[in-house]
Structure 1
Amino acid sequence: MATEFKKDHGQVCEAWRLLTATNRAAHLQAAIAKLALLTGDSKKARKLFNHLLSFTPMLDEVQQMNGATGESNELYVTARGKTMVIGGESAKALVVLGQLVAALLTGNEVILHCPSQEEMCLEAVKALYEVGISEDVISIANDSQLVTLLHMDRLSQVAVAGITSEVQSISQELANTDGILTQVIAVTDMDGLADMLTPDYLYRFVTERVRTINTTAIGGNATLLELGT
């Protein structure tokens, strides 16, 4: 039964990753109003969330790259994988939810951990479930110790909202873990949100991939064939 659960969980998360950013943004857009109300500053929250969603077309871009004759090479971005969104003791709900929206928009599976704002977490996740985002894709882990969570298997990145000392503590703990290198995405500016307004902010939640297709093998290239005659 456990094996079947893991299989289904993996398939659901993979399906979310394979959606276009445009489709993921449609789900998130439907939840923005409720998420904004949880921050205490609905107007500012809507502005931030819509700013993040405005970069959606960028995430769906595919760039053609030069390569060997007879190959088609496409550069695109995709989700990094399992992502933990952490709110420190001093974190504001707006920043935590902004990190959450960014992680979901880019196609990642997200685990939310913000024990100091447990009710906000519950309401945020409920709002996301209501717009069709699966429980496999977004979950809460406030009942677990942070140190234990940071050592979970195949944790790709941690998005931290908090003061510098909290970020440093988490980074140090991650440095002591085994397995894959876990990236830290920190937001320490609780009021100005400077970290989240940079043009490359969303790129921190993704990784680049190249898709290579052998065009001669899937149908031939008449020009190449002529070169041999």
Structure 2
Amino acid sequence: MATEFKKNHAQVCEAWRLLSAVNRAIYLEAAIPKLALLTGDANKARRLFNHLLSAAPKLDEVQRMSGATGESNELYVTARGKTMVIGAESARTMAVLGQLIAALLTGNEVILHCPSQDDMCIEAVKVLYETGISDDVISIANDSQTITLLYIDRLAQVAVTGNNAEVQTVSQELANTDGILTQVIAVTDMEGLSDMLTPDYLYRFITERVRTINTTAIGGNASLLELGTE
């Protein structure tokens, strides 16, 4: 049973990753009105959340690259993987939810951990479930200590909201973990939210990949395949 659960979990998360950012934005856009009400300043929250979602078409862009004869090379971006969104003690709700939306928009599986705002986490995740986002894609981890959670297997990145000291504590702990390199995405400006307004903010949640297609084998100059066989 456990094996089957893990298998299905991976499949659901992969399906979310393979959706276009524009399609993922449709789910998130449906959640914005209710999520914004959780922040205490719904108008400002809607502006922030819609600003993040407006980048969806750009995330779906594919750039053609030059390559060897008989090859087609395309550069695109995709989710990094398992992402923990942490709200530290000093975190504001709007900033935490902004990080959550960014992580989901870019196709990541997300674990939300904001122990000082348990009720907000439960309500936010409930809203996202109501839009059709699976509980395999977004879950809450409130029962464990933050330090313990940082040692989760194959944790690709941590989006932490808090003051500089809190961010530094998380970063130092992650430096002691084994396995893959875990990236830290920090938001420390609770008022202006300037961290989330920079041009490269969403790109910190994703990684670049290149898709290479052998165009010769699918209808190009087949004689090229014979080179070097004589």
What TM-score do the two structures reach when normalised by structure 1?
A: 0.97
- The answer to whether the aligner puts 1:201 opposite 2:172 as a matched pair is no
Cα shift at 1:187 = 0.3
SS at match of 1:97: helix
| Residue aligning to 1:77 | 77
Alignment: residue pair count? 226
Q: Distance in 2 between matches of 1:115 and 1:134?
A: 22
Cα shift at 1:121 = 0.3
Cα shift at 1:218 = 1.8
| Residue aligning to 2:61 | 61
Q: Distance in 2 between matches of 1:10 and 1:224?
A: 40
Cα shift at 1:143 = 0.8
Q: Distance in 2 between matches of 1:173 and 1:99?
A: 20
Q: Distance in 1 between matches of 2:222 and 2:116?
A: 65
Cα shift at 1:224 = 5.8
Q: Distance in 1 between matches of 2:193 and 2:110?
A: 21
| Residue aligning to 1:117 | 117
Q: Deviations over 1:82-134 (max 9, x none)?
A: 00000010100000000000000000000000010000000000000000000
Greater than 3 Å deviation, 4+ residue runs: 222-225
Q: Distance in 2 between matches of 1:151 and 1:77?
A: 26
| Residue aligning to 1:22 | 22
Q: Distance in 1 between matches of 2:17 and 2:141?
A: 21
Q: Deviations over 1:28-72 (max 9, x none)?
A: 000000000000000000000000001001110000000001100
- The answer to whether the aligner puts 1:49 opposite 2:52 as a matched pair is no
Tell me the amino acid that sits aligned with residue 94 of structure 1. Answer: M
| Residue aligning to 1:98 | 98
Tell me the amino acid that sits aligned with residue 200 of structure 1. Answer: D
| Residue aligning to 2:132 | 132
Structural RMSD (CA):
1.3
Tell me the amino acid that sits aligned with residue 173 of structure 2. Answer: E
| Residue aligning to 2:31 | 31
Q: Which runs of 5+ in 2 are unaligned?
A: none
Cα shift at 1:222 = 7.0
SS at match of 1:96: helix
Q: Distance in 2 between matches of 1:219 and 1:43?
A: 54
